[in-house]
Amino acid sequence: MQTFIRALLLCFILQFCIAGVGQLSPAASGEHNTQANSIDTVGAIVGVYEDAAGHSHGFYHLVQDFKKINFPGAKSTEILGMDDRGDLAGDYTDSDNVVHGFVRDHNGFHSLDFPGAAKTFVRGENIGRSVAGYYDDKSGQRHGFVLREGNFSTIDHPSAKSTVVTSINDDEEMVGWYVDAKNVTHGFLLADNNFNDLDVPEATATWPSEISESGWIVGTYEKAGAKHGFQLVDDKFIFINFPNADSTEARGLNAVGDIVGCYKVGDSLHGFKLKDTLYTAVDVDFSPPPTSRRNYLIFGGVILAGIVLVTGIYRIYRHDTAPPPINGPVVD
Protein backbone atom coordinates (compact mmCIF):
# COMPACT_ATOMS: atom_id res chain seq x y z
CA MET A 1 0.00 0.00 0.00
CA GLN A 2 2.79 2.41 0.82
CA THR A 3 4.36 1.69 -2.58
CA PHE A 4 1.04 2.48 -4.25
CA ILE A 5 0.72 5.78 -2.40
CA ARG A 6 4.26 6.81 -3.32
CA ALA A 7 3.59 5.98 -7.00
CA LEU A 8 0.36 7.98 -6.95
CA LEU A 9 2.14 10.95 -5.40
CA LEU A 10 4.93 10.74 -8.00
CA CYS A 11 2.42 10.63 -10.87
CA PHE A 12 0.69 13.71 -9.51
CA ILE A 13 3.96 15.62 -9.21
CA LEU A 14 4.89 14.73 -12.81
CA GLN A 15 1.44 15.74 -14.04
CA PHE A 16 1.66 19.05 -12.24
CA CYS A 17 5.07 19.80 -13.71
CA ILE A 18 3.93 19.00 -17.25
CA ALA A 19 0.67 20.92 -16.99
CA GLY A 20 1.99 23.88 -15.06
CA VAL A 21 5.28 24.56 -16.74
CA GLY A 22 5.53 22.14 -19.65
CA GLN A 23 3.80 24.46 -22.16
CA LEU A 24 6.43 26.65 -23.64
CA SER A 25 6.42 30.41 -24.00
CA PRO A 26 6.41 31.95 -27.52
CA ALA A 27 10.15 32.52 -27.42
CA ALA A 28 10.82 28.90 -26.49
CA SER A 29 8.30 27.18 -28.79
CA GLY A 30 8.72 29.45 -31.81
CA GLU A 31 5.43 31.37 -32.08
CA HIS A 32 6.18 34.79 -33.52
CA ASN A 33 5.06 37.52 -35.94
CA THR A 34 1.60 37.98 -34.42
CA GLN A 35 -0.92 40.01 -36.45
CA ALA A 36 -4.23 41.00 -34.84
CA ASN A 37 -6.75 41.35 -37.66
CA SER A 38 -10.24 41.67 -36.19
CA ILE A 39 -12.03 42.31 -32.88
CA ASP A 40 -15.65 41.81 -31.84
CA THR A 41 -17.78 43.80 -29.42
CA VAL A 42 -16.85 41.71 -26.35
CA GLY A 43 -13.15 42.18 -27.10
CA ALA A 44 -12.29 38.80 -28.62
CA ILE A 45 -9.43 39.09 -31.13
CA VAL A 46 -8.53 36.90 -34.10
CA GLY A 47 -5.49 36.98 -36.33
CA VAL A 48 -2.42 35.18 -37.59
CA TYR A 49 0.93 34.04 -36.20
CA GLU A 50 3.86 32.03 -37.54
CA ASP A 51 5.39 28.90 -36.05
CA ALA A 52 9.08 28.06 -35.94
CA ALA A 53 8.90 26.54 -39.44
CA GLY A 54 7.39 29.71 -40.90
CA HIS A 55 3.87 28.28 -41.36
CA SER A 56 0.91 30.56 -40.65
CA HIS A 57 -1.85 29.65 -38.19
CA GLY A 58 -4.99 31.43 -37.08
CA PHE A 59 -5.65 32.29 -33.45
CA TYR A 60 -8.50 33.36 -31.20
CA HIS A 61 -7.73 35.44 -28.11
CA LEU A 62 -9.99 36.50 -25.26
CA VAL A 63 -8.67 37.94 -21.98
CA GLN A 64 -5.60 35.71 -21.30
CA ASP A 65 -6.57 32.68 -23.35
CA PHE A 66 -5.18 31.86 -26.82
CA LYS A 67 -6.59 29.14 -29.08
CA LYS A 68 -5.09 27.88 -32.33
CA ILE A 69 -7.40 27.76 -35.37
CA ASN A 70 -6.48 25.78 -38.47
CA PHE A 71 -8.55 24.82 -41.48
CA PRO A 72 -8.68 20.98 -41.39
CA GLY A 73 -5.79 19.46 -43.33
CA ALA A 74 -4.31 22.82 -44.35
CA LYS A 75 -0.59 23.61 -44.53
CA SER A 76 -1.27 27.16 -43.34
CA THR A 77 -4.28 29.20 -42.20
CA GLU A 78 -4.96 32.94 -41.95
CA ILE A 79 -7.87 34.41 -39.98
CA LEU A 80 -8.65 37.83 -41.47
CA GLY A 81 -12.11 38.72 -40.19
CA MET A 82 -14.70 37.98 -37.48
CA ASP A 83 -18.24 39.25 -36.85
CA ASP A 84 -20.18 39.53 -33.59
CA ARG A 85 -21.70 36.07 -34.11
CA GLY A 86 -18.19 34.64 -33.92
CA ASP A 87 -18.17 33.65 -37.60
CA LEU A 88 -14.66 33.73 -39.08
CA ALA A 89 -13.30 34.54 -42.53
CA GLY A 90 -9.88 33.92 -44.02
CA ASP A 91 -7.85 31.74 -46.34
CA TYR A 92 -5.84 28.53 -46.21
CA THR A 93 -3.18 26.81 -48.29
CA ASP A 94 -3.75 23.16 -49.16
CA SER A 95 -1.22 20.36 -49.68
CA ASP A 96 -0.81 21.38 -53.35
CA ASN A 97 0.02 24.99 -52.32
CA VAL A 98 -3.30 26.30 -53.68
CA VAL A 99 -4.89 29.16 -51.72
CA HIS A 100 -8.62 28.95 -50.96
CA GLY A 101 -10.93 31.21 -49.03
CA PHE A 102 -13.17 30.01 -46.21
CA VAL A 103 -15.77 31.00 -43.66
CA ARG A 104 -16.37 29.24 -40.36
CA ASP A 105 -19.74 29.38 -38.63
CA HIS A 106 -21.50 27.23 -36.01
CA ASN A 107 -21.69 24.43 -38.59
CA GLY A 108 -17.92 24.36 -39.13
CA PHE A 109 -15.55 25.33 -41.94
CA HIS A 110 -16.74 26.03 -45.49
CA SER A 111 -14.25 26.39 -48.34
CA LEU A 112 -14.93 29.19 -50.87
CA ASP A 113 -13.41 29.56 -54.33
CA PHE A 114 -14.32 32.19 -56.88
CA PRO A 115 -15.24 30.26 -60.07
CA GLY A 116 -12.19 29.80 -62.29
CA ALA A 117 -9.83 31.63 -59.89
CA ALA A 118 -6.26 30.59 -59.22
CA LYS A 119 -6.42 31.89 -55.63
CA THR A 120 -9.25 33.13 -53.41
CA PHE A 121 -8.99 35.26 -50.27
CA VAL A 122 -12.00 35.90 -48.01
CA ARG A 123 -11.82 39.03 -45.87
CA GLY A 124 -15.19 39.39 -44.14
CA GLU A 125 -18.89 38.63 -43.84
CA ASN A 126 -21.86 40.78 -42.76
CA ILE A 127 -25.06 40.02 -40.87
CA GLY A 128 -26.85 39.16 -44.11
CA ARG A 129 -24.20 36.49 -44.94
CA SER A 130 -22.74 38.55 -47.79
CA VAL A 131 -19.06 37.61 -48.12
CA ALA A 132 -16.36 39.94 -49.47
CA GLY A 133 -12.79 39.38 -50.57
CA TYR A 134 -10.58 39.16 -53.62
CA TYR A 135 -9.18 36.60 -56.04
CA ASP A 136 -6.39 36.13 -58.54
CA ASP A 137 -7.40 35.01 -62.01
CA LYS A 138 -5.37 32.55 -64.11
CA SER A 139 -3.23 35.40 -65.50
CA GLY A 140 -2.38 36.68 -62.02
CA GLN A 141 -4.69 39.71 -62.21
CA ARG A 142 -6.30 40.58 -58.88
CA HIS A 143 -10.02 41.43 -58.53
CA GLY A 144 -12.42 42.09 -55.69
CA PHE A 145 -15.58 40.06 -55.24
CA VAL A 146 -18.78 39.81 -53.22
CA LEU A 147 -20.81 36.66 -52.65
CA ARG A 148 -24.54 37.21 -52.08
CA GLU A 149 -27.05 34.38 -51.76
CA GLY A 150 -24.73 31.96 -53.51
CA ASN A 151 -23.93 34.29 -56.42
CA PHE A 152 -20.41 35.67 -57.00
CA SER A 153 -19.89 39.15 -58.48
CA THR A 154 -16.55 40.67 -59.52
CA ILE A 155 -15.71 44.14 -58.21
CA ASP A 156 -13.17 46.20 -60.17
CA HIS A 157 -12.46 49.88 -59.64
CA PRO A 158 -12.82 51.61 -63.03
CA SER A 159 -9.29 53.07 -62.84
CA ALA A 160 -7.63 49.93 -61.51
CA LYS A 161 -4.99 47.52 -62.67
CA SER A 162 -5.94 45.44 -59.64
CA THR A 163 -8.61 45.67 -56.93
CA VAL A 164 -8.84 44.30 -53.39
CA VAL A 165 -12.02 44.32 -51.26
CA THR A 166 -11.25 44.04 -47.55
CA SER A 167 -14.53 44.56 -45.67
CA ILE A 168 -18.32 44.71 -46.00
CA ASN A 169 -20.69 46.06 -43.34
CA ASP A 170 -24.38 45.37 -42.73
CA ASP A 171 -25.38 48.24 -45.05
CA GLU A 172 -23.47 46.51 -47.88
CA GLU A 173 -20.84 49.27 -47.89
CA MET A 174 -17.38 47.99 -48.81
CA VAL A 175 -13.84 49.29 -48.49
CA GLY A 176 -10.59 48.21 -50.06
CA TRP A 177 -7.85 49.48 -52.33
CA TYR A 178 -6.80 49.52 -55.96
CA VAL A 179 -3.60 50.04 -57.91
CA ASP A 180 -3.79 52.56 -60.77
CA ALA A 181 -1.91 52.68 -64.09
CA LYS A 182 1.02 54.44 -62.40
CA ASN A 183 1.25 51.70 -59.74
CA VAL A 184 -0.03 54.02 -57.01
CA THR A 185 -2.24 52.40 -54.36
CA HIS A 186 -5.45 54.22 -53.42
CA GLY A 187 -8.15 53.37 -50.93
CA PHE A 188 -11.82 53.37 -51.81
CA LEU A 189 -15.31 53.25 -50.31
CA LEU A 190 -17.96 51.50 -52.38
CA ALA A 191 -21.50 52.54 -51.41
CA ASP A 192 -24.69 52.37 -53.49
CA ASN A 193 -22.62 51.06 -56.42
CA ASN A 194 -20.49 54.22 -56.43
CA PHE A 195 -16.72 54.25 -55.86
CA ASN A 196 -15.32 57.06 -53.70
CA ASP A 197 -11.55 57.42 -53.43
CA LEU A 198 -10.20 57.36 -49.89
CA ASP A 199 -6.63 58.62 -49.58
CA VAL A 200 -4.85 59.87 -46.49
CA PRO A 201 -3.52 63.39 -47.22
CA GLU A 202 0.13 63.41 -48.36
CA ALA A 203 0.27 59.60 -48.28
CA THR A 204 2.06 57.71 -51.04
CA ALA A 205 -0.26 54.70 -50.54
CA THR A 206 -3.48 54.01 -48.62
CA TRP A 207 -4.88 50.59 -47.61
CA PRO A 208 -8.31 50.67 -45.85
CA SER A 209 -8.95 47.45 -43.90
CA GLU A 210 -12.39 47.51 -42.29
CA ILE A 211 -15.60 49.54 -42.18
CA SER A 212 -17.91 49.36 -39.16
CA GLU A 213 -21.71 49.52 -39.07
CA SER A 214 -21.47 53.22 -38.18
CA GLY A 215 -19.27 53.90 -41.20
CA TRP A 216 -15.98 54.28 -39.30
CA ILE A 217 -13.00 53.06 -41.30
CA VAL A 218 -9.55 51.89 -40.23
CA GLY A 219 -6.53 51.12 -42.34
CA THR A 220 -2.89 51.84 -43.09
CA TYR A 221 -1.06 54.46 -45.09
CA GLU A 222 2.53 55.00 -46.14
CA LYS A 223 4.42 58.27 -45.87
CA ALA A 224 8.16 58.85 -46.22
CA GLY A 225 8.70 55.10 -46.50
CA ALA A 226 7.02 54.23 -43.18
CA LYS A 227 3.60 52.71 -42.51
CA HIS A 228 1.12 54.21 -40.05
CA GLY A 229 -2.40 53.32 -39.00
CA PHE A 230 -5.42 55.57 -39.40
CA GLN A 231 -9.05 55.81 -38.38
CA LEU A 232 -11.56 57.84 -40.42
CA VAL A 233 -14.49 59.16 -38.40
CA ASP A 234 -16.92 61.74 -39.82
CA ASP A 235 -14.44 62.67 -42.57
CA LYS A 236 -11.71 63.28 -39.99
CA PHE A 237 -8.48 61.23 -40.00
CA ILE A 238 -7.08 60.07 -36.66
CA PHE A 239 -3.57 58.65 -36.83
CA ILE A 240 -2.49 55.48 -35.03
CA ASN A 241 1.11 54.72 -34.08
CA PHE A 242 2.17 52.11 -31.54
CA PRO A 243 4.73 53.72 -29.18
CA ASN A 244 8.37 53.29 -30.28
CA ALA A 245 7.41 51.06 -33.24
CA ASP A 246 9.12 51.25 -36.62
CA SER A 247 5.74 50.91 -38.36
CA THR A 248 2.08 50.41 -37.45
CA GLU A 249 -0.86 48.89 -39.33
CA ALA A 250 -4.51 49.20 -38.24
CA ARG A 251 -6.45 46.10 -39.33
CA GLY A 252 -9.84 45.98 -37.58
CA LEU A 253 -12.30 47.73 -35.28
CA ASN A 254 -15.50 46.90 -33.42
CA ALA A 255 -18.77 48.71 -32.75
CA VAL A 256 -17.45 50.49 -29.65
CA GLY A 257 -14.32 51.82 -31.35
CA ASP A 258 -11.66 49.37 -30.16
CA ILE A 259 -8.95 48.91 -32.80
CA VAL A 260 -6.52 46.07 -33.49
CA GLY A 261 -3.57 45.70 -35.82
CA CYS A 262 0.12 45.01 -35.82
CA TYR A 263 3.35 46.91 -35.37
CA LYS A 264 6.91 46.19 -36.37
CA VAL A 265 10.11 46.51 -34.39
CA GLY A 266 13.16 45.45 -36.36
CA ASP A 267 12.19 42.28 -38.21
CA SER A 268 9.47 41.22 -35.77
CA LEU A 269 5.70 41.76 -36.01
CA HIS A 270 3.53 42.10 -32.92
CA GLY A 271 -0.21 42.47 -32.57
CA PHE A 272 -1.82 45.28 -30.62
CA LYS A 273 -5.14 46.48 -29.26
CA LEU A 274 -6.03 50.16 -28.93
CA LYS A 275 -8.83 50.99 -26.49
CA ASP A 276 -9.49 54.70 -26.05
CA THR A 277 -5.88 55.92 -25.94
CA LEU A 278 -4.31 52.83 -24.33
CA TYR A 279 -2.15 50.55 -26.50
CA THR A 280 -1.73 46.92 -25.43
CA ALA A 281 0.61 44.46 -27.16
CA VAL A 282 -0.93 41.15 -28.29
CA ASP A 283 1.52 38.28 -28.84
CA VAL A 284 0.42 34.66 -29.16
CA ASP A 285 1.23 32.79 -25.95
CA PHE A 286 0.02 29.24 -25.36
CA SER A 287 1.45 28.91 -21.85
CA PRO A 288 -1.19 28.63 -19.10
CA PRO A 289 -2.29 31.97 -17.61
CA PRO A 290 -1.61 32.59 -13.89
CA THR A 291 -5.16 31.57 -12.98
CA SER A 292 -4.57 28.13 -14.51
CA ARG A 293 -1.40 27.66 -12.50
CA ARG A 294 -3.33 28.63 -9.36
CA ASN A 295 -6.01 26.07 -10.22
CA TYR A 296 -3.33 23.40 -10.56
CA LEU A 297 -2.02 24.33 -7.10
CA ILE A 298 -5.51 24.11 -5.59
CA PHE A 299 -6.12 20.80 -7.33
CA GLY A 300 -2.75 19.56 -6.09
CA GLY A 301 -3.58 20.53 -2.52
CA VAL A 302 -6.88 18.62 -2.68
CA ILE A 303 -5.11 15.51 -4.05
CA LEU A 304 -2.44 15.66 -1.34
CA ALA A 305 -5.08 16.06 1.35
CA GLY A 306 -6.90 13.06 -0.08
CA ILE A 307 -3.73 10.98 -0.01
CA VAL A 308 -3.11 11.90 3.62
CA LEU A 309 -6.72 11.03 4.50
CA VAL A 310 -6.63 7.67 2.70
CA THR A 311 -3.28 6.83 4.32
CA GLY A 312 -4.67 7.63 7.76
CA ILE A 313 -7.79 5.54 7.23
CA TYR A 314 -5.70 2.65 5.95
CA ARG A 315 -3.44 2.75 9.01
CA ILE A 316 -6.45 2.80 11.37
CA TYR A 317 -8.04 -0.07 9.47
CA ARG A 318 -4.82 -2.09 9.53
CA HIS A 319 -4.44 -1.50 13.29
CA ASP A 320 -8.06 -2.46 14.07
CA THR A 321 -8.03 -5.61 11.96
CA ALA A 322 -4.52 -6.81 12.79
CA PRO A 323 -4.51 -10.35 14.26
CA PRO A 324 -3.39 -10.79 17.85
CA PRO A 325 0.25 -11.56 18.40
CA ILE A 326 1.18 -15.21 18.30
CA ASN A 327 2.70 -16.40 21.58
CA GLY A 328 5.63 -18.73 21.27
CA PRO A 329 6.00 -21.85 23.28
CA VAL A 330 6.78 -21.49 26.94
CA VAL A 331 10.24 -22.63 27.70
CA ASP A 332 11.04 -23.68 31.23
Question: pLDDT by residue (tens digit) across 32-57?
Answer: 999 999 999 999 999 999 999 999 99
Q: Which residues contact 290 (CB under 8 A, 6 or more apart)?
A: 64
**Residue 327 pLDDT greater than 60, yes or no:** no
| Alpha-carbon span 123 to 104, nearest angstrom | 12
The pTM score is 0.79
What value does the mean pLDDT take over residues 277-306?
69
What value does the mean pLDDT take over residues 117-127?
96
Percent of the chain with pLDDT over 70: 78
pLDDT of residue 34: 98
End-to-end Cα distance, the chain? 41
pLDDT of residue 12: 47
Q: Where in the chain is the domain with CATH 2.120.10.30?
A: 32-282
Cα angle: 283, vertex 289, 293; to 5 degrees: 155
pLDDT of residue 22: 32
pLDDT of residue 303: 63
Go through 188-208 and write b for each residue having 16 or more CB atoms within 10 A of its CB, e for each that does not: bbbbeeebeebbbeebebbbb
CATH class for domain 32-282? Answer: mainly beta
